[in-house]
Structure 1
């Protein structure tokens, strides 16, 4: 069973999240480098698949975290410590470091009032300003950090599972979560209409993947973990993706497949103590923008093949991800209180970070 084979402290989830973050960067390489949209299967590209995978993994881990943390306040503080400090720092770094560098590489002059609005206007996690005036004038897109769109939905999912566990009795959490997952799936099917507002589409879709992970956590002691089932899940996911139904129907098979891989892959040591996947996720796009401007100035916009650009992007973004972990994320995580007690002081070793 999944519950007996999955060791919360010895698994390959951090390696998978690192791979998913890399997939986001690879997918964005087409747009940033001026090659158009990335390859997709019925509208689902590698980046969408990766973000969905993040949410599915997060749902499984966060369900366990919420049920082991009696205090809703402490749970939400712990969640905020995981995603918000690094998010705020990347906004500031983009405005005061990356933006001026981009002006040097690609021409233009930073409008500092716009840079200030970029930081303060986006600080709520809901991104309302994607660019900074006077920058990225010769880039393929004026957007400074496309992946940040998902973080507000991650936070809303944290809030949703946190409140759900507070308002229903413990014994009712399982049926309530399953019911909510079914309702979200139905809602996502209904939002296939192009008339549905983008925010609603994204919220329902991401919450569906998140609660697929929650349901899998609930069923972990009854859910067989076997290669034939993983193969069925993968095959079903490919089929429904080809039919254009990835968002409403791929959530549970994707969650199962990722948890299966986390158990069977021999990658437990990758990111076990130093999880740089979140840093790679939030720094990848702005680093790609600077890389494009630099290469464009040297060779021209399409002189570097997209595959080479993707590899260079990963190499260039990794130091920023490592710095984010050691300078921002790890110190913030040291303040987490695992079971609702007082805020902990810095500790010499940390469990692998959960969530995105």
Structure 2
């Protein structure tokens, strides 16, 4: 939830047209760092899900039920509710436009995202983009597919665990190549996402997998020193590379050692995914309403997105996740011998 709210913070200044809240010369770039942390935690937790229930079919169903329903809900709401209310085009023309229905179909499939709707947010400081936060979800799906392949090959078993290291090193090699070669800022896209970003986030995801499969010490001291060393570096190619490992490791360590005294009920934080997928759309609506101060944008958007995230959890995510029980075998009652 902290990460999801900080993403709204990172988007606040660009969406009101005031530039960036964090100077670009700083080595710590909030948006990239948070997304690295999200992908690392995802790799760690999804691997744990397999270790607890190593069944290919159930694993695929669980991932689908977690990722897809909120994405479909926010896409339908944007196209069929928000769009006709705010579009600059006549309502009949809006619904007759194939791009309106293309938005729903492309985003529902999660692999060929469409970011604009006819006549929607055209005059905003960040024009046309309806929900920029959705751009990471195809990458998450690709990460799931890659891990699923490795798990089918037996990567969770001790004798094949080395495959996770090979995958991590291969991704690192490709990431370094793309970052080092001049002109790769436009290296193309795969399934509607930039290749450079895809590989970078897959490195973080793979690191989370490795940290779960191998007994790597999760040390708060090491995490703090890593962040301190990283913060002292200039914003260079080496610093960008170090960020992936430092932030990914630090986020997993922070989650592992989260102080009991500041733990809260899951009810307060379960809506984090909903906050993430609704936040950008809420901010665009606020920008259209005339909000031009980044702090006012942050306060309003975070509050509204939090409520929408809670509603998403209560009425979309939790009910659909309960469907997992239909594919999960019931524990057998074993009678103890006399």
Q: Which TM-score band applies after superposition, normalised by the shorter structure?
A: 0.7 to 0.9
| SS at 1:242 equivalent | coil
1:66 positional shift:
1.7
Match of residue 177 from structure 1? 164
1:122 aligns with 2:117: no
CA deviations 1:202-240 (Å, max 9, x no partner) are 221111000111111122xx3334332122221233355
Indicate conservation of the 8 Å contact 1:185/1:249, yes or no.
no
Contact 1:66–1:161 (8 Å) recurs in 2:
no
Matches within 5 A, 1:1-356: 18-39=1-22, 40-41=24-25, 45-103=29-87, 107-110=88-91, 111-112=94-95, 113=97, 114-140=99-125, 141-168=127-154, 170-192=157-179, 193=181, 194-195=183-184, 196-198=187-189, 199-219=194-214, 222-239=215-232, 242-245=235-238, 248-262=241-255, 263-265=257-259, 266-271=261-266, 275-294=270-289, 296=290, 302=292, 305-337=293-325, 341-342=328-329
* Alpha-carbon separation, structure 2, partners of 1:249 and 1:272: 35
Cα pair distance change 1:337/1:217, threshold 3 Å: farther
The question of whether the paired residues in 2 share the 8 Å contact of 1:52 and 1:206 is answered with: yes
Structure with greater contact order relative to length (CA < 8 Å, sep ≥ 6): 1
Q: Which runs of 5+ in 2 are unaligned?
A: 332-338
Residue of structure 2 in register with 1:350 after alignment: none
**8 A Cα contact 1:147 1:282, kept in partner:** yes
Give the distance between the partners of 1:330 and 1:167, measured in 2 at CA: 31
Gap change, CA 1:148 and 1:245, over 3 Å in 2: farther
Could you tell me how far 1:101 is from its partner in structure 2?
2.8
What SS does the corresponding residue of 1:224 show, helix, strand or coil? Answer: coil
Alpha-carbon RMSD across the aligned residues, in angstroms, is 2.4
Range 318-327 or range 79-88, more displaced: 318-327
Q: Distance in 2 between matches of 1:149 and 1:306?
A: 22
> Counterparts of 2:239 and 2:36 in 1: how far apart (Å)?
10
For normalisation by structure 1, the TM-score amounts to: 0.81
1:82 is displaced (CA, Å) by: 0.3
CA contact (8 A) 1:66 1:162 kept: no
Aligned residues: 314
Q: Is the 8 A contact 2:28 2:243 kept in 1?
A: no
